[in-house]
Structure 1
Amino acid sequence: MLHDNTKARLADFDDRKEELTAIRHYLHQNPELSHKEEKTARFVADKLKSWGYDVTENVGGYGVVAVLSNGTSKRGIAIRADMDALPIREETGLDHASANDGVMHACGHDGHTTILLGAAEYLARTRRFDGTLTLIFQPAEEAGTTSGAQKMIEDGLLERFPFDMIFGLHNHPGAPEGQILLREGPLMAAADTVEVLVKGRGGHASRPHLTVDPLVTACHMVVALQMVVSRFTDPTQTAVVTVGTIHAGEAVNVIPETARFAITVRSFDEDVRANLETRIRQMIASVAAGHGAVAEVDYQRGHPVVFNAAEPTALARSVAEELVGEDNVGTCNLIPGSEDFSHYLEFRPGCFVRLGNGVDSAVLHSSKFDFADESLTVGAALWARLAERFLEEDAG
């Protein structure tokens, strides 16, 4: 392991701070929603082409894949950044605030894209690596079950652009700018959605004995579902079952025919995930039967767990400590949010890193959020040094 100046350092990016900040501000001012990142993708592709990358556009939608080979090694590394924004009206009041009303980069994907572009320019200019570098600029991370990771994989990403390991990052509000957080094993939760339709028999609100009230039944289901975690899940495991919506009826004097509610389910272990589904289905069916109603359950499996493999996580931690020092590298807590980067990790070993966005940063998906420009060069240097370390000439 090298600790000299033959690999990328923070100082190598000092003269790029102004340019990277300008790129990030441009992207922030011109946000595009999931599956609509046409201008962003073109901007990214043009930059990469100008630096000598072999660029493929429209992979799984507006995905951009840039490949650069150097030397003779067959080893390959992939690094991914996301590009899409959210349907939120920005309220930061910044000079570089969104010019697209009702759309903003409230999750920092403008920063993630800029960081990877910064690393891309450096690696193309220095070419101090032996192997193949694959940079993935992904659309539609925020799109749920139609996410860009899934679309790019379905479009043959893994076969068309082979690599051995994959890395990605996300900014982390609450941690100091430039701090790097890692965690081996599960990091971010699997996220499943359950939609429940309760069918009863409607009637006059003054004669409930002549009806089967689906609203009362649904309310009992919501209460009973609280036991799925508290009484049917190993207390040493982490899980979340939250009912976020419930809808029934239009008039105060009418018992409706149906009621609907929806659940989000989060977990960090596949066995726990399977048990949650079994218990939720059983609980809904038993409550429905007890009330004389019928329940239809649409259980939708979303993103799997973000699981960081041991070897790539150890490499990323080693590189981070070389770059910013051990005092600025920490262990990340479990995050109950989900990430479609997890789909890549089902096929290749990899590591998802968290990068500090400031102790006083607004939370993700807030109308007041802005990516911390102070973290741009740290992220770019991290990716550059990581690629150089993974693709060292004497690597196996």
Structure 2
Amino acid sequence: MSSFSDIEKMMVEYRRHLHRNPELSFQEEKTSSFIKQVLGEQGVRIEDFGTHHSFAAIVEGSGAGKTYGLRAELDALPITEKSGVDFLSTNPIAMHACGHDMHMAIAIGVTLSLHRQRESLKGRFLAIFESGEETLPGGAQAITQSKLFSLLKPDAMFSIHVLPELEVGKIGVCPGKYMASGDEVYITIDGKGGHAALPHLLTDPVVCAAEIILGLQTLVSRKAPPLIPTVLSFGRVEALGATNIIPDEVSIAGTFRTMDEAWRNEAHRLIQQTATGIAASHGAKCEIEIRKGYPSIYNNPELTLLVKRTATELIGNKNVVDLEPRMTTDDFAYFSNLIPSVFFRVGTGFPNTDNPQLHRPTFNPAEESIGVAHSLLSKILLTLMA
């Protein structure tokens, strides 16, 4: 889109302000205050969820009808920005490298658009601004357990997420199981260290840890049901020895991802069993902690089809992309597991460019996508609330 309406131009300015002033998870006091001020000055009703800085902006139609929600995240990532834009983050330890500034600006715009047309609408709209999505335990679960959410519980929920792999002007959808659950796995192996030249006198926790890492891969290749996506990866190994010193202890940390709750729980048991068994075979002991993270996201097929059809009408069939499931996580899953929901992607990649990925210090989404997302969400919600 080469031009914006007045409200879309305002959204770009809001996005740039939010980008300049990022705040980390559960610390988004100024971010929430800014959005509350922008919407409150236009007469939008604001209610706090009573959970950190999460709040709702509420638009009431003139007639009875269903309630619809749109989630946007408030928090930034602990990254020093290197994107080179002229509205660079002023916080040296935080950056909106996951596009949450885009999501917030779009949610502000949709809220204002619906608020201006509220007399012709039926039902209720909630823009849910969530604190702490990037850090466990996230903010969504606390919102769903709040008194305000139970009073204003939506009949359907929407969420968007920018995607640099998808060219600006395109929308991506995936019905059914779309994103994985995510759990953190921490294992500490206690052995007996000493001189590296005398291994026969030791219980080597380094060799034990190596075998545990390799042994746990059989959970994916031999224990996981073949039709259930599963990933178990270890990205941290800490053995504080030296070239000639075997340490007493080794710690490893990783992530477990899948899309089935029954298998997820069984896998947790097998991780415990396998690691403990391997450690025992070495004469070592191990402590295992599995921090259960977000569940998997399920996209309601009917809502996904609504998004796809509306996007096709708005931007054309060639710009609506069918996406594959992905093993990343998002705590929007707490909404999608509770009520009919859809989480879809908004293309932010510049054409013919190697666009930096999400969570990179050089991430720089195309702002034209703000207008695409605003137009699509507004059209969907105006149709549902007509």
- Give the shorter-chain TM-score range: over 0.9
1:294 aligns to 2:285 (yes or no): yes
Amino acid at match of 1:328: N
Deviations 1:76-118 (A, max 9, x none): 0011111211111111121111111121111111100001111
Within 5 Å, give how 1:211-360 maps onto structure 2: 211-358=202-349, 359=351, 360=353
Amino acid at match of 1:184: P
Within 5 Å, give how 1:22-37 maps onto structure 2: 22-37=13-28
Contact 2:8–2:109 (Cα < 8 Å) also in 1: no
Distance in 1, matches of 2:282 and 2:110, equals: 60
**Could you say which residue in structure 1 is the equivalent of 2:379?**
385
Distance in 2, matches of 1:304 and 1:351, equals: 15
**Could you say which residue in structure 2 is the equivalent of 1:371?**
365
Deviations 1:274-296 (A, max 9, x none): 34223322221221121111111
Using the size of structure 2 for normalisation, the TM-score is 0.94
Contact 1:84–1:140 (Cα < 8 Å) also in 2: yes
Q: Report the Cα offset of residue 12 of structure 1.
A: 11
Contact 2:133–2:139 (Cα < 8 Å) also in 1: yes
Deviations 1:184-213 (A, max 9, x none): 111111111111111222333333222211
Identity rate, percent: 34
Contact 1:60–1:153 (Cα < 8 Å) also in 2: no
1:87 aligns to 2:78 (yes or no): yes
Contact 2:19–2:101 (Cα < 8 Å) also in 1: yes
- Identify the match of residue 141 of structure 1 among 128, 133, 145: 133
Q: Report the Cα offset of residue 375 of structure 1.
A: 0.5
Contact 1:63–1:136 (Cα < 8 Å) also in 2: yes
Distance in 2, matches of 1:13 and 1:311, equals: 30
Contact 1:323–1:382 (Cα < 8 Å) also in 2: yes
1:378 is paired with a residue whose SS is helix
Amino acid at match of 2:31: T
Q: Report the Cα offset of residue 11 of structure 1.
A: 11
Unaligned runs of 5+ in 1: 1-9
**Could you say which residue in structure 2 is the equivalent of 1:7?**
none
Relative distance call for 1:11 and 1:222 in structure 2 (3 A) is: closer
* The 10-residue stretch of structure 1 (193-202 or 318-327) with the greater mean CA deviation from structure 2: 318-327
Contact 1:180–1:354 (Cα < 8 Å) also in 2: yes
- Identify the match of residue 197 of structure 1 among 154, 174, 188: 188
Distance in 2, matches of 1:11 and 1:218, equals: 55
Q: Report the Cα offset of residue 157 of structure 1.
A: 4.5
Contact 1:61–1:152 (Cα < 8 Å) also in 2: no
- Identify the match of residue 121 of structure 2 among 112, 118, 129: 129
Distance in 2, matches of 1:182 and 1:216, equals: 45
Deviations 1:301-323 (A, max 9, x none): 11110111122222222222222
**Could you say which residue in structure 2 is the equivalent of 1:3?**
none
Distance in 2, matches of 1:17 and 1:116, equals: 11
- Identify the match of residue 66 of structure 1 among 52, 57, 67: 57
Q: Report the Cα offset of residue 13 of structure 1.
A: 5.5
Q: How many positions carry a matched residue from both structures?
A: 382
1:106 aligns to 2:97 (yes or no): yes
1:75 is paired with a residue whose SS is strand
1:357 is paired with a residue whose SS is strand
**Could you say which residue in structure 2 is the equivalent of 1:46?**
37
1:170 is paired with a residue whose SS is strand
Deviations 1:23-55 (A, max 9, x none): 111111111111111111011111211222210
Unaligned runs of 5+ in 2: none
Contact 1:105–1:370 (Cα < 8 Å) also in 2: no
